[in-house]
Amino acid sequence: MNKRRLRKITDRVWMIVGSNRRIQPNVGIITNKTQTVLVDCGNSPAWGNFIQEMLTFMGAASVSHIIYTHHHWDHVFGAMAFEAPIIAHEKCLDYLKVEA
């Protein structure tokens, strides 16, 4: 696990730094004692599993929600690694159906 990718922004806000070479965007983490919210979740289930490893390392609570900033595959496909409701603009679903 590459812990150097984890950046603390505030006491409850973190970022996992992605990679341009692998088309892995940054992932936001907002957490408290009882829940964790992800802002985007990466490009694949493997990246989602990496995010989960980082959350476990942090001692973060389970992911309660995922927020999509937009519909691009590299920001959403990592959600397959989680069982959490997704919050997004209603048009996002339409675009994802086309991409599927």
Helix (H/G/I), strand (E/B), else coil: 71? coil
pLDDT for 38-71, tens place per residue?
999 989 999 999 999 999 999 999 999 999 999 9
Cβ–Cβ under 8 Å, residues 54 and 78: no
Indicate the DSSP class of residue 44. Answer: S
- What's the whole-number mean pLDDT along residues 19-45? 91
Query: What global pTM score does this model have?
Result: 0.89
Domain 3-99 adopts which CATH fold? Metallo-beta-lactamase; Chain A (3.60.15)
> Is residue 1 very low, low, confident or very high in pLDDT (cuts 50, 70, 90)?
low
Nearest CA-CA partner of 79 in 36, 35, 47, 55: 47
Nearest CA-CA partner of 86 in 72, 69, 68: 68
CA distance 43 to 47: 6
